[in-house]
Structure 1
Amino acid sequence: MSSSGVDLANCADEPIHIPGLIQPHGALLAFDHGGALRSWSANVPALLGFAPMLNQDVARLPLQAPVLAQLRECIDDSGAEGCTRTAVETTMAGQLFDCIVHSDAHRVIAEFELRDIRTETVATFALKAHTAIERLKRQKTVGTLLQLAVEQVRAITGFDRVMAYRFRHDDSGDVIGEALDASLQPFLGMRYPASDIPAQARRLYTINTLRLIADIGYTPVALVGAPGDPPLDMSHAVLRSVSPIHVEYLQNMGVAASMSVSIVVNGRLWGLLACHHMTSLRVPYSIRMACDVIAQVLAATVQSLDARQRATMVEQAADVRTHLIETLLQEDDVLAALARHAADLAATLGADALVFAQQGRVLVHGEMAHETATAVVASLPVDGEEVLQRCNRTEWPAAAHVPIGPWVGLLGLHFDPASGGWLLALRREQIETIRWAGKPEKLAVTGPLGHRLTPRGSFNEWVESVTDSAEPWDAGRLLVAEQLLAEMHRASMTRHAEMDRARMQLLAMLGHDLRDPLQSITMAATVLQHGAQPQQLGRRIERSSGRMQRLISQVLDMSRLDSGMGLALRHESTDISRLVEDLVDEARLAHPGTLYETAVASGVTAGVDPDRMAQVVSNLLSNARHHGTGGQPVLVTLRDDGETIAIEVRNHGAPIAPELESQLFNPFKRMALQNRANRTGMGLGLYIASNIVQGHRGSLTYGYEAPHVVFTVRLPAAESAP
């Protein structure tokens, strides 16, 4: 196929929106925006009874007054966006037509479609459609909704078969609703490949949601137009001729007439109502529009059902997330905390198994071997995106293809990069038996249309087994995962802050506890110099040095446990405005008794470590809350003067005593330990915050502007990773 240059791209490149042809059960006139006739179908004289002339003004055409009025209105309203499509009944050359008028950026088009059903009969069908719409609105599931829709559309239009199929993530479509004549073979439950609807056809299905082919064996009618004019864009035309490949496709199915009605949800082709008839069938325009309204009601109902389902899922996920974060903040062992909520997390993320990894440890939830979980963790990138997705074995590193076994679907949440913390949701491959409506591949052959891809010739059931692929995570699950990741990031940030604080407390205690043994050793050494008894003093020195050794060993042990969790900074472009606003909002929720007032400049960004900067701001907010005068607001401002970003936190209170001010940013503050406001800590927060800010080439300063205590963080506006 590659040698001939014939592939699916050729099929996708077919310019089906400008065929230059129409179906013969109607005639077409195309005007410029000034009302001059620029092109028409060759059958206008035979069908409409007059001979058109190039540049003939619309007012001079022998058209009935309602048609002329619609055309004039559309010409007056036409522009870049075009006028709204309208339809009016008219009689031309003794025949009844529906005249459909519409426009685009270049032309105003009038299509005259023959109608052989009386107006009274059409009105009856429209009433049936209204009843169908009311029933559709009451459906509670997508399956019952589409099944009712195909039954109602078949009753209204008279087609032999009406199918409803829903598109999957790969654009193939499953038939999940069908109403048909008893003599036909059912297609319910079968799948149509994505290649049945090329990209440009999918585009037309989205912008022109209803398409009728009244007689598949028709002879197309050519358009006549001004030489040199660009081809007429017929994307919105109801008479547009059909691609010869599509004609052959329908003929292979034994179909003589067809109609398709698009189900468009959120601007995307979600599904399709496909109507087939074994003989030619013309469905009047107004009845087709009733079917189009049914499809719009379908789309709105599907969107409503989907939104309701997603809201339920998000609500349940929020509950799981809340309980998980509470456990993470209380539990010393992060992996143990995750394992405690593993079943709920697996249900929330739609996973068959979960793997938790951090600092070389791996825990598994589900029917996955530990060796497989280890291979999965080994395949993860050291750096990269925080949310990692893999849905096919080929997306994994080659070395992992065999060790991962059937676990080819991965959704990885890198919740703590500093410690290699991952939450991994795994899905098994779908060993799926697909009932295709015919073998999906197209073949390149030479035929009446030249050497090209031909549509499928058989639509008998063709079964295929699919392996090495897992169902991808949908948008709803990904939203839940991103929300979970954000909360876990915050929990990790809090844990790191607590561990930093604990390390500083340990150092403070170490410094205090080392004084006594050091003093004993010094005194013993002094006494020895004056010739005292060495045996007793030696035992004192031994005891004191042993105590020192134990204290230092404890520090070294903690250092080993705490490896890699220091003040390492991960610089990234961060919305400082959003960060400050979010933290103030959190403080408001957590401490409703404290009033916060903000003056935060919008759109302030810088290259910083967002978690560490959040730690700084949180500490300043906490200090302001603890030390501020009750009933007075905490004031938070953010400014950007182009070179420096300033974050300022003010609280109403007395100035800090001069003797404490000089030690304010030191880790060991005796007065801080005596302060009742610090009864839950040792006053180490400002020391840590100052180090974080200095790591960003900035400064953290204290000032007093009566009656306010003011702490100010200043950062270079263009700060980036060293």
Structure 2
Amino acid sequence: MTTAPPSVPAVNLENCDREPIHVPGAIQPHGALLAFDASMRVCHASANAAQLLGASAPVLGQALAAAHFEGLAAVHALIRDVAALPATDTEVALQSDEVALNGQRFDLVVHRSGPLLVTELEQRPAGDDDVAAFALRAHRAMDRLKRQSQVDALLALAVRVMRELAGFDRVMAYRFRDDDSGEVVAEDRHEALEPFAGRRYPASDIPAQARRLYLLNTLRLIADVHAQPVPVLGADLQAGALDMSHGVLRSVSPIHIEYLRNMGVGASMSISIVINGRLWGMLACHHRSARRVPYAVRMACDVLAQVLAANVQTLLAREQAEWAEEGAQLRSRLVQGMLHAENTVGGLAALAEPLTKAFNCEAMLLAEEARLFVHGSLPHGQAQALLQWVQAQPMAGSELLAVQDLPHRAPALEAAGAGWCGLLALRLGDAGGWLVLLRREQVETIRWGGKPEKQYTVGPLGPRLTPRGSFDVWLQEVRGTSLPWTEAQRELGRQLLADLSRASAAQMAELNRARTQLLAMLGHDLRDPLQSIAMAAKVLERSEGEDGRSAAGARLGQRIQSSSSRMARLIGQVLDASRLQTGLGLQLQTAEVDLALLLEDLLDEARVAYPGLNLITEVPATLPALADADRVAQLFSNLISNARHHGAPGEAVIVQLSLQGEDVSFEVSNSAPPIPDELLPHLFSAFKRQTQPGSRNRSGLGLGLHIAQAIAQSHGGTLDYTYAEPYVVFSARFPVRPQA
């Protein structure tokens, strides 16, 4: 087994994916390289420099002198011009000229590589003198490219034009996919060659470091895959390896050379298609034998590729603009529908057809609270199971979940087994609503250019990854996936969520205005009639007489009095809840009050109103405090009423008032099962649903505990729930003397 020369880094199994191809330590043999340091001393030189350039070329360690390079003014002027340019890491300017040296014609290319000045002289092939004719053909080609209106047609024309200009046996347009694999989407070739169009190649064929160089140096020529590289020598150990990222003569990775040989390629040229700073695709040129393309021709091809990239970007931007316009129209219809719909599900369901069309999917489900709407051939049971799976997924702060391989993610789901593979779920705010879009399985047959997995073997450089030896078509059938959700579709989903949020906010504002008007009516227009009804009821209740009609009138008066009092309490609770929800808080008028006396009066009223109520009380003789007497009475009444409604029939309600240090402690206990855990987060919420089984307060609004907590908090205290078997206990605690 032969070993690589010391100047060429070994490529083994451990480091092949990190191969430093930008510092290969060698160049291709059809040219020579010299690198100068800041003092214009030669610090790097290719081993063939003297042979190729003649005796006038400077040697390692020698400073550049006027007699070097046969004293050619063009060479010295170009080196001086590039040396005067500022050294930057972001932009490298290559300057070129044509010179005759040592009886040969060269393309002279000079550029900076950090602090060094790299001078490359590339031999011009014979018979390439008709530059004017080439320039005319290139100009015509650019004009033809600009007239294309579709990306596919543009790429098909580009490969034909590039083959005409550069003369290669095969030119392919290679487009990268989201997973960095690439596909040959257009091809122009010699009739004797096997077609490669439609074949795909894995991302590993172009490692990350190669992609970086394709962005830095957009055109790369490998003139002869069978040529032996020429080492680049350094003047001393301090010179280090020369960075050839921008070089035109940089030698080639042994793995890539083997790859090309396996394909039957004798020479290649690649031109990058860069869009928005990203490697979007490439033009790959192959020749069955060695081929040297003059530097000027290559630069014209590079300009042609830049025109191609600009046109591709314009066409993609046009497609994106059309998509954005359609999305904007859909969003406008969505907002209009939401503003006139009673709920989110109703508003979105009316647009199910355009929504599924915009997202290129076959089914959609909507869920909010107890409502579930399904559009498409998805059974209701599968929709419910899908929704439960979506709700269980971690969202990591995102409002959007995109999946294209649902059978692999959730193999137990019946919907996944039924062929639903793509899922785009949008979480509709904090109310637990969901919009889920679904795609069916897209069975894809991939035509790989050879089996994509690389093989471990022993090659000329020792154990390493060896590129594929066969490029026959290898078919792979991919199942269990859908078409991927594009970034444009995800962005439309995010925009829809933002629109829904704004529409919901507008609806909420309208509801708040309506609520304000309703509360004004409750507070003003209803209280006066209720007061009149209550006074009339008292007159009926006090009516005297022995006949049955008077006795019936008294009973009717009692019922009217009871009902009007309950309506007045409900109105008061609604007004209090409204103040709390709008951030106004409860107005307090604090004064000295004896809480023990206040509580005793309330307990007497409860005993009279509910003769069967069993009250066990622990109340001190006196408990003076600084508080709002009406609000504290409301807190006491709400907790006692809550215990009476929810306690077990016939069981006592225990009421305890005491002084604990500097705090008032008020506890109400009633016999009942513990409150279910799922209700605890909303226990003190306003207008909560009545979900406790067997409740005897079905006509309540669910405001009592909400207002009681607010009263305790407004006095600087708390209201808490605990369970001490067999009692449900609500405990209010607040300072005797609240701090200002």
Report the CA distance shift for 1:326/1:146 in structure 2 as closer, same or farther (over 3 A): same
Corresponding residue of 2:437:
425
CA-to-aligned-CA distance 1:40-67 (integer Å, 9 cap, x gap): 1000111111263333233342252112
2:69 is matched with 62
In the alignment, the residues of structure 1 paired with residue 359 and residue 569 of structure 2 have an alpha-carbon distance, to the nearest angstrom, of: 45
Q: Does 1:90 align with 2:95?
A: no
* SS of corresponding position for 2:84: helix
Deviation at 1:503, TM superposition (A): 4.2
Deviation at 1:356, TM superposition (A): 1.6
- Which deviates more from structure 2 when the two are superposed, residues 154-163 or residues 353-362? 353-362
Give the corresponding residue for 2:225: 216
Task: Report if the CA contact (8 A) 1:78-1:105 is conserved.
Answer: no
TM-score normalised to structure 2 length: 0.70
Deviation at 1:400, TM superposition (A): 6.0
- CA–CA separation in structure 1 for the residues paired with 2:12 and 2:560: 86
Confirm whether residue 12 of structure 1 aligns to residue 17 of structure 2. yes
Structure 1 letter corresponding to 2:322: T
- Pairwise CA RMSD of aligned residues? 3.2
Number of matched pairs? 560
* Contact map agreement 2:180 2:202 (CA 8 A) in 1: yes
What's the TM-score, normalizing by structure 1? 0.72
**Amino acid of the structure 2 residue aligned with 1:252:** N
Gaps in structure 1 of 5+ consecutive residues = 1-5, 569-690, 696-722
Q: Are 2:552 and 1:535 equivalent residues in the alignment? A: yes
CA distance in 2: counterparts of 1:336 and 1:266, whole angstroms: 41
How far residue 555 of structure 1 moved from its aligned partner, in angstroms, is 12
Among 423, 435, 443, the alignment partner of 1:410 is: 423
Q: Deviations over 1:53-97 (max 9, x none)?
A: 333233342252112111110011141246521211111211111
Instruction: Name the SS for the 2:175 alignment partner.
Output: strand
1:37 matched to 2:10? The reply is no
Residue 88 of structure 2 corresponds to residue 71 of structure 1? no
Shift of 1:440: 0.6
Change (3 A) 1:9 1:319: farther
> Distance between the aligned counterparts of 2:273 and 2:475, measured in 1?
27
Q: Does 1:49 align with 2:62?
A: no
The DSSP-based 3-state class of the residue aligned with 1:218 is coil
Partner in structure 1 of residue 180 of structure 2: 171
- Taking only the aligned residue pairs, the percentage that are identical comes to 46
The structure number with the bigger radius of gyration is 2
384-393 vs 188-197, which moves further: 384-393
Per-residue deviation, 1:510: 4.3
Correspondence for 1:248 among 249, 252, 258: 258
- Mapped to 1, the partners of 2:488 and 2:561 lie a distance apart of 63
Query: CA-to-partner distance for each residue in 1:373-405, whole Å, 9 max, x for gaps?
Result: 222321234774343233343798658655444
Matched, 1:451 2:459: no
Amino acid at match of 2:94: R
CA distance in 1, matches of 2:184, 2:174: 4
Task: Measure how far apart 1:313 and its partner are.
Answer: 1.2
Deviation for aligned residue 1:543: 6.0
- The 1:56–1:336 alpha-carbon spacing in structure 2 relative to 1, beyond 3 Å, is same
Q: Which amino acid aligns with 2:45?
A: W
Change in CA separation of 1:464 and 1:518 when aligned onto 2, cut-off 3 Å: farther
Give the match for residue 487 of structure 2.
475
The CA distance in 2 between the partners of 1:47 and 1:356, in whole Å, is 75
1:474-519 superposed Cα distances (whole Å, 9 cap, x missing partner): 2322332222221111111122333344445444444543653564
> What SS does structure 1 have at the residue aligned with 2:355?
helix
Structure 1, 204-213 or 481-490: larger mean CA deviation? 481-490
| CA–CA distance in structure 1, aligned partners of residues 415 and 570 of structure 2 | 41
Does the C-alpha gap of structure 1 residues 500 and 9 become closer, same or farther in structure 2, counting only changes over 3 Å?
A: farther
Task: Supply the distance in 2 between the matched residues of 1:401 and 1:275 (Cα, whole angstroms).
Answer: 48
CA distance in 2, matches of 1:245, 1:102: 27
CA distance in 2, matches of 1:306, 1:388: 25
Q: How does 1:582-621 map to 2 (within 5 A)?
A: none
Whole-Å separation in 2 of the counterparts to 1:555 and 1:380:
42
Between the aligned partners of 2:13 and 2:382, the Cα distance in structure 1 is: 39
Aligned to 2:705: none
Q: Provide the secondary structure at the position in 2 that maps to 1:84.
A: coil
* Alignment partners' CA distance in 2, 1:315 and 1:172: 30
Q: Residue deviations 1:606-628, cap 9 Å, x none?
A: xxxxxxxxxxxxxxxxxxxxxxx
Residues 244-288 of structure 1: per-residue CA shift (max 9 Å, x gap): 000111111111111101000000000011111111111111111
The answer to whether the 8 A contact 2:540-2:556 is kept is no
Q: What residue number does 2:138 align with?
A: 129
2:732 maps to which residue? none
User: SS in structure 1 opposite 2:108?
Assistant: strand
CA-CA distance at 1:312 after TM superposition: 1.2
Compute the displacement of 1:437 (Å). Answer: 1.0
- For residues 572 and 371 of structure 2, the distance between their equivalents in structure 1, rounded to whole angstroms, comes to 23
Q: What amino acid maps onto 2:503 in structure 1?
A: A
Q: Is the 8 A contact 2:541 2:558 kept in 1?
A: no
SS where residue 59 of structure 1 aligns? Answer: coil
Distance 2:510 2:178 in 1: 44
Corresponding residue number in structure 1 for 2:614: none
Any residues of structure 2 matched to 1:250-265 within 5 Å, and which? Answer: 250-265=260-275
> Which stretches in structure 2 are left out of the alignment for 5+ residues?
1-10, 584-709, 715-740
